Chain A
Amino acid sequence: MREITVTHVVVVTLAATFVLLGLDRAGELRPNRPADVPPAAKPAPVAAPAHDPDKGKPPPHNDRPEDLPDGKGRDVTFYTCTACHGVALIKAQGLTRELWDSTFDLMLEKHRMPPVPAAERGEILDYLAATFPPRRRGRGDDNPFK
Chain B
Amino acid sequence: MASRRNVLKGVGMATIGASLPISGVLAQNAPAAASAAKAPKLLEMEGKAKLAVLGDRPLVAETQAALMDDDVTPTDKLFVRNNGQVPEATRDPKAWKIKVDGEVNTPLDITLGDLVSRFPNVTYQLVLECGGNGRSFFEPEARGNQWTNGGVGCPQWTGVRLADVLKAAGLKSSAVYTGHYGADPTLAGETDKPTISRGMPIKKAMDEHTLIAFKLNGQDLPLIHGAPVRLIVPGWAGSLSTKWLTRIWIRDKEHDGPGMGGFSYRTPKKPIVPGSKGDEKDMAILESMPVRSVITFPADGTKLAAGTRKLDLRGNAWAGDWDIKTVDISIDAGKTWKSAKVNPPANKFAWQRFTASVDLPSSGYYEVWSRATDSNGVTQPFQATNWNPQGYGANPISRIRVLVES
Task: Please list the residues of chain A having a beta carbon within 8 angstroms of any beta carbon in chain B.
Answer: 36, 51-59, 61, 63, 82-86, 88-89, 92-96, 98-99, 102-103, 106, 109-112, 134-141, 143, 145-146
Contacts and interface: CB of A to CB of B under 8 A. Distances in A.
A135 to B, nearest CB: 7
A52 B91 CA distance: 8
B139 A138 contact: yes
A36 to B, nearest CB: 7
Contacts of B383: 138-139
Contacts of A89: 54-55, 145
Contact of A139 (B24, B55, B59, B86): B24
A59 B44 contact: yes
Contacts of A96: 140, 275
12 contacts: A36-B57, A54-B89, A56-B86, A56-B224, A58-B59, A88-B57, A89-B55, A92-B146, A103-B143, A112-B186, A135-B140, A141-B139
B86 A99 contact: no
| Chain B CB within 10 A, most for which of A85, A96, A98, A138 | A138
A138 B275 CA distance: 11
Interface in B26-62: 26-27, 31, 34, 41, 44-47, 53-59
B31 A110 contact: no
B381 interface: no
B139 A85 contact: no
Interface of B: 23-24, 26-27, 31, 34, 41, 44-47, 53-59, 80, 82, 86, 88-89, 91, 138-141, 143, 145-146, 186-188, 190, 193, 222-224, 227, 258-259, 261-264, 273-277, 383, 387, 389
A136 B276 CA distance: 15
Given A55-B223, A57-B86, A92-B145, A99 B277 contact: yes
Contacts of A138: 23-24, 27, 31, 139-140, 383
B57 A61 contact: yes
A134 B264 CA distance: 20
A14 B83 CA distance: 43
B285 to A, nearest CB: 15
Given A86-B57, A112-B186, A143-B274, A55 B141 contact: no
B277 A102 contact: yes
B141 A94 contact: yes
A56 B188 contact: no
Contact of A58 (B45, B140, B276): B45
A59 to B, nearest CB: 6
Nearest to B47: A56
A57 B274 CA distance: 38
A145 B26 CA distance: 19
Contacts of A140: 139-140, 274-275, 387
A61 B59 CA distance: 9
B273 A143 contact: yes
B275 A134 contact: yes
Contacts of A111: 186-187, 258
Contacts of B273: 143, 145-146
Most chain B CB atoms below 10 A, which of A96, A109, A141, A145:
A141
Contact of A85 (B55, B88, B275, B276): B55
User: Of residues B91, B143, B222, which shows the largest number of chain A Cβ atoms within 10 Å of its Cβ?
Assistant: B143
A95 B141 contact: yes
- Pick the most buried of A58, A94, A106, A145: most chain B CB atoms within 10 A of its CB: A58
Contacts of A134: 140-141, 275
Contacts of B23: 136, 138
B59 to A, nearest CB: 4
B277 A98 contact: yes
A142 B44 CA distance: 41
A145 B276 CA distance: 10
B174 to A, nearest CB: 28
Contact of A88 (B34, B54, B190, B389): B54
Contacts of A135: 34, 140-141
Contacts of A109: 262
B59 A137 contact: no
Contacts of A61: 56-57, 59
Nearest to A106: B262
Contacts of A58: 45, 56, 59, 80, 82, 86, 224
Contacts of B276: 146
Contacts of B262: 106, 109-110
A132 to B, nearest CB: 9
Contacts of B138: 136
A112 B86 contact: no
Contacts of B193: 112
Kindly list the 9 A-B residue pairs having the minimum CB-CB distance in the complex, ordered from nearest. Answer: A138-B139, A56-B223, A53-B88, A86-B57, A134-B140, A94-B141, A61-B56, A84-B187, A58-B59
B287 to A, nearest CB: 20
Contacts of A51: 89, 91
Contacts of A103: 143
A85 B187 contact: yes
